[in-house]
């Protein structure tokens, strides 16, 4: 049985990527959505390891325990960082699981680096390119970053204006997001709001087994255009893997064993 390692991987001249590697079996790589870190997968890692999977999580550059770089927050560099992790660990037949903007990141990874090492794809509450929300967040991030993050993490976990997550957990996630680089917080919004990115086209071109999973009450990304089997969790918000982890894990494990 593989233990839980916590090394740093150098992915550029000045960037060391923090990652964790737990369990053994078919690999699953969890990609957090902006502005969250690998800690947002707490309720998934244990369940997937117990089900017989090797589970990888990481903090993208500028976030969590990865180097707070000034540059490199472009779609190309971010997916190159992901590719560096996959090749360093020599992952094959890995299932990529991306939440929110992380879903866009995993799809762009496939479009950039191909699917030779990838077995399948889980798009969790996927976002879809440029939006009015993205423009508002960029403006707020420049001058009121922590207040903006507080508002974002209220939206992530709310359904019809009511928060579906205990406040202690929401505040913990807010503290991890606020501790990330201010530069990264702002510029990653730009990266995954690029109007030239096409999540649906990237997924279709890859031709891999794909699952879309989202919350019924998602007010951040209420719709998607990906042609794939979809699970909608009743009364779930955007961050449904955190508010409804048992239902979410069950749906993903069914996909992984199917």
Residue appearing with tokens 């990652």: 19
- Tell me what pLDDT residue 132 has: 56
Q: Catalytic pick from 38, 40, 59, 100? A: 100
**pLDDT score at 223:** 67
Query: What pLDDT, on the 0 to 100 scale, is given for residue 137?
Result: 73
Per residue in 127-170, pLDDT (tens digit) is 865 555 666 777 777 778 899 999 999 999 999 999 999 999 99
Instruction: Judge whether residue 40 has pLDDT over 50.
Output: yes
Is residue 4 predicted with pLDDT exceeding 60? Answer: no
Residue 31 has pLDDT above 50, yes or no: yes
pLDDT in tens, 166-203: 999 999 999 999 999 999 998 998 888 777 888 999 99
Q: What is the mean pLDDT of the chain?
A: 91
Considering 218, 224, 241, 244, which one is annotated as catalytic?
Answer: 218
Terminal Cα distance for the chain, rounded = 24
> Judging by DSSP bridges, how do beta strands 162-163 and 15-22 pair with one another?
unpaired
Q: What is the band of 1 on the pLDDT scale with cuts at 50, 70, 90?
A: very low
Helices and strands (H, E) in the chain, number of each type: 10, 10
At residue 238, the pLDDT reads 96
Q: What is the rounded distance in angstroms from the CA atom of residue 50 to the CA atom of residue 117? A: 23
Mean pLDDT of 69-75: 92
The proportion of the chain whose per-residue pLDDT surpasses 90, expressed as a percent, equals: 78
CATH number belonging to domain 8-257: 3.40.50.1820
Domain residue ranges in the chain:
8-257
Q: Is 172 part of the annotated catalytic residue set?
A: no
- Is cis: bond before 138, omega within 30 of 0? no
Most confident of the ranges 66-70, 115-119, 142-146: 115-119
Sign of torsion over alpha carbons 145, 147, 148, 152: positive
Q: How many percent of the chain have pLDDT more than 70?
A: 93
Whole-number pLDDT of residue 18: 96
Catalytic residue among 224, 238, 241, 244: 238
**What's the confidence (pLDDT) of residue 129?**
56
Determine the distance from the C-alpha atom of residue 212 to the mean position of all C-alpha atoms in its chain, rounded to a whole number. 13
Nearest in space to 117 (alpha carbons), one of 187, 204, 208: 208
Overall average pLDDT of the 55-66 stretch: 96
180 is catalytic: no
Q: Among residues 215, 245, 218, 219, which one has the least CA distance to residue 231?
A: 215
pTM, two decimal places: 0.94
- Half-sphere exposure (Cβ direction) of 156: Cα atoms closer than 13 Å: 33
The yes-or-no answer on residue 244 being catalytic is no
- Taking a C-beta distance cutoff of 8 angstroms, is the pair 115, 90 a contact? no
Phi, psi of 21 (to 5 degrees): -140, 110
**Residue 241, CB half-sphere, CA atoms under 13 Å: how many?**
30
Q: Given a cut of 60, is residue 3 above it in pLDDT?
A: no
Q: How far is CA 146 from the centre of its chain?
A: 20
């Amino acid at each position: 049985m593989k233990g839980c390692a916590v090394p740093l991987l150098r992915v550029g001249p000045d960037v060391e990527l923090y990652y964790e590697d737990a369990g053994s079996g078919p690999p699953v790589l969890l990609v957090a959505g902006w502005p969250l870190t690998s800690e947002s997968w707490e309720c998934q890692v244990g369940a997937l390891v117990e089900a017989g999977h090797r589970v990888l999580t990481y903090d993208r550059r500028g976030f969590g325990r990865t180097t707070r770089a000034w540059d490199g927050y472009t779609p190309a560099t971010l997916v190159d960082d992901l590719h560096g992790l996959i090749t360093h660990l020599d992952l094959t037949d890995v299932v990529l699981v991306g939440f929110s903007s992380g879903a866009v990141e995993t799809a762009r990874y496939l479009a950039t680096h191909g699917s030779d090492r990838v077995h399948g794809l889980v798009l969790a509450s996927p976002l879809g390119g440029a939006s009015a929300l993205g423009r508002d967040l960029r403006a707020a991030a420049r001058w009121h970053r922590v207040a903006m993050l507080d508002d974002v993490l209220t939206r992530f976990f709310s359904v019809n204006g009511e928060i579906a997550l205990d406040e202690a957990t929401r505040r913990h996630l807010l503290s991890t997001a606020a501790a990330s680089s201010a530069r990264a917080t702002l510029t990653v919004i730009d990266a995954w709001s690029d109007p030239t990115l096409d999540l649906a086209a990237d997924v279709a071109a890859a031709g891999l087994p794909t699952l879309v999973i989202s919350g019924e009450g998602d007010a951040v990304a209420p719709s998607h255009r990906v042609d794939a089997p979809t699970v909608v969790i009743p009364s779930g918000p955007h961050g449904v893997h955190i508010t409804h982890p048992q239902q979410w894990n069950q749906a993903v494990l069914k996909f992984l064993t199917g």
